[in-house]
Copies of this chain bind each other. A is one copy, B any other.
Amino acid sequence: MNSPANFPQLLPVVKPRDVPPEFIDALKSRFGAQCSTGVTVCELHGRDESSFTTVPPPAGVVFAESAQDVSDAVKLCARYKVPAIPFGVGSSVEGHLLAVQSGISIDLSRMNRILAVNAEDLTVTVEPGVTREQLNSELRSTGLFFPIDPGADASIGGMCATRASGTNAVRYGTMRENVLMLEVVTASGEVIRTGTRAKKSSAGYDLARLFIGSEGTLGVITKITLRIYPLPEAVSAAVCSFPSIAAAVTTVIETVQLGVPIARVELIDVNAIRAVNKHSKLSLREEPMLLMEFHGSATSVKEQSETVQEIASEHGGAGFEWADTPEERSRLWTARHNAYFAALQTRPGCRCLTTDTCVPISRLADALLRSVEDAEASGIPHFLVGHVGDGNFHMCYLIDPDDAEERARAEQLNHRLVRHVIELGGTCTGEHGIGLHKMGFLVEEAGAGTVAMMRTIKKALDPDNIMNPGKIFAMD
């Protein structure tokens, strides 16, 4: 029943593993109503925001309510050698949640409590199912906030697992820099803790950083302590249009090189703006646009924005609009927030195949312009958004998921881009992870020896390969 018919061409084909009926019985007996094998529930947990839609769903879903639940579920998986796939809100775009070797989904959305806000230490401790919007809404009254914003209202556990970042990372870093402590259920079902609430530590191997970005392949994250930040005294947002992508990118490069502590700087291209204009009935200038945000004291924000406005003007930046209140800022940022869904609607039934390369900032124009040129030549509908302050951008190809030839062409464009980016000293994924279909890219980027070391660690910590198998790299 699990045969991957119509399996996307570029996914590695692996024989699914056995999910014995005794295992399902044991699961049901332990979890009762917290366990479901219903078709709809399983199907909901067998897909994500990726363009891969054809993998059979997991055989069951456990709705965990505590680390003990996770531990018990993993112990059963370990006993029967059945894969376990942690599930947050399903916002992965790299197929992390797909049951490519069958198994069960461990849904963490019920573990959504904020356990402690230590305002005086600028830390917060949460369960993995807390989403970033939930967190910020609960923090609002404290004058603090959690800045990492990958766009989707992702779960904090999922953001850890993919080493997520998004807008704001240019100033506040990624999940790598903002996690202090993790509680993790290992592949044997043991509950361990790594890190402390202290801001820094040299106490042994940095296991927290090993789990951050491990994409569920080493264990299930069940508790997270994060750094949070005082809401800036002043926030100012701006949008500015440019005669070309090159002009916009040059503005960004010079801003970063000058050391301006800009909090956000996003690029969206003409295709995305057209989609947003149509979708939200707006009349934005149909030109490449930078969206920026400045955080700090009133004086510092003023100074930063003046500097950037000056740089932008030198490169033909025009149509500057500023916003200082939260409402105005939301309005300005509409284009960025709606770009993805607006673009999807320009081609009904399409799925988005998204690239995620990241390069050293001086190579950004080179990487970005070549990818635009290639996409234009391909004839596949596409749009571009980017966290360009970090050198990270997403070329999004709007493909017909049932058209294997089109998918293959989009994948080829991605591959060409990744090759180019690796030559430029960059990475195939800035923030989405390797997931299902970048395994080849990972080897090209890191080298076989480095990937072999990752595999050695995986094998040592998960000898039966039950934790989200088939992601990041193939095991024997």
Interface residues of A, Cβ cutoff 8 Å to B: 118, 120-123, 162-165, 169, 173-174, 176-177, 186, 190-194, 196-207, 209-210, 212-214, 229-230, 232, 253, 256-259, 296-297, 299-300, 303, 356, 358-363, 390-392, 422, 425-434, 438, 441-442, 445-447, 449-451, 453-454, 456-457, 459-461, 472-473
CA distance A361 to B358 in the complex (A): 34
CA distance A205 to B176 in the complex (A): 12
Establish whether residues B450 and A461, one from each chain, have CB atoms under 8 Å apart when the complex forms. no
Contact residues in B for A169 (Cβ distance below 8 Å): 200
CA distance A120 to B364 in the complex (A): 11
In the complex, the count of this chain's copies comes to 2
Given contacts A200-B165, A430-B200, contact A192 B121 (CB under 8 A): no
**CB-nearest residue of chain B relative to A427?**
B201
Contact residues in B for A174 (Cβ distance below 8 Å): 200
CA distance A190 to B193 in the complex (A): 32
Contact residues in B for A205 (Cβ distance below 8 Å): 210, 213-214, 454, 457, 472
In the A-B complex, list the 6 residue pairs whose CB atoms are closest, starting with the nearest: A460-B460, A209-B209, A230-B259, A201-B427, A197-B425, A121-B360
Contact residues in B for A300 (Cβ distance below 8 Å): 296-297, 299-300, 303
Least distance between A340 CB and chain B CB atoms (Å): 18
Contact residues in B for A297 (Cβ distance below 8 Å): 300, 303
Establish whether residues B446 and A193, one from each chain, have CB atoms under 8 Å apart when the complex forms. yes
Establish whether residues B459 and A204, one from each chain, have CB atoms under 8 Å apart when the complex forms. no
Establish whether residues A446 and B203, one from each chain, have CB atoms under 8 Å apart when the complex forms. yes
Establish whether residues A429 and B299, one from each chain, have CB atoms under 8 Å apart when the complex forms. no
Contact residues in B for A202 (Cβ distance below 8 Å): 162-164, 213, 356, 427, 429-434
Contact residues in B for A210 (Cβ distance below 8 Å): 205-206, 209-210
Least distance between A243 CB and chain B CB atoms (Å): 23
Establish whether residues A204 and B454, one from each chain, have CB atoms under 8 Å apart when the complex forms. yes
Q: Which of B120, B196, B229, B358 contacts A259 (CB 8 A)?
A: B229
Least distance between A4 CB and chain B CB atoms (Å): 23
Establish whether residues A196 and B425, one from each chain, have CB atoms under 8 Å apart when the complex forms. yes
Establish whether residues B209 and A206, one from each chain, have CB atoms under 8 Å apart when the complex forms. yes
Contact residues in B for A303 (Cβ distance below 8 Å): 297, 299-300
Q: Which of B360, B392, B433 contacts A197 (CB 8 A)?
A: B360
Contact residues in B for A191 (Cβ distance below 8 Å): 449
Contact residues in B for A200 (Cβ distance below 8 Å): 163, 165, 169, 174, 176, 358, 390, 392, 427, 430-431
CA distance A123 to B257 in the complex (A): 11
Q: Which of A229, A296, A450 has the most CB of B within 10 A?
A: A450
Contact residues in B for A422 (Cβ distance below 8 Å): 196
Establish whether residues B203 and A361, one from each chain, have CB atoms under 8 Å apart when the complex forms. no
Can you report 16 residue pairs joining A to B where beta carbons are below 8 Å apart?
A: A118-B362, A120-B361, A176-B200, A193-B450, A194-B446, A196-B445, A198-B390, A198-B427, A199-B390, A201-B429, A202-B429, A202-B430, A205-B210, A207-B453, A299-B300, A457-B461
Least distance between A351 CB and chain B CB atoms (Å): 21
Contact residues in B for A209 (Cβ distance below 8 Å): 176, 206, 209-210
Contact residues in B for A257 (Cβ distance below 8 Å): 120, 122, 230
Instruction: Add 7 more A-B contacts to A196-B425, A199-B358, A202-B213 (CB < 8 A).
Output: A192-B449, A196-B445, A197-B360, A200-B430, A203-B428, A205-B472, A230-B259
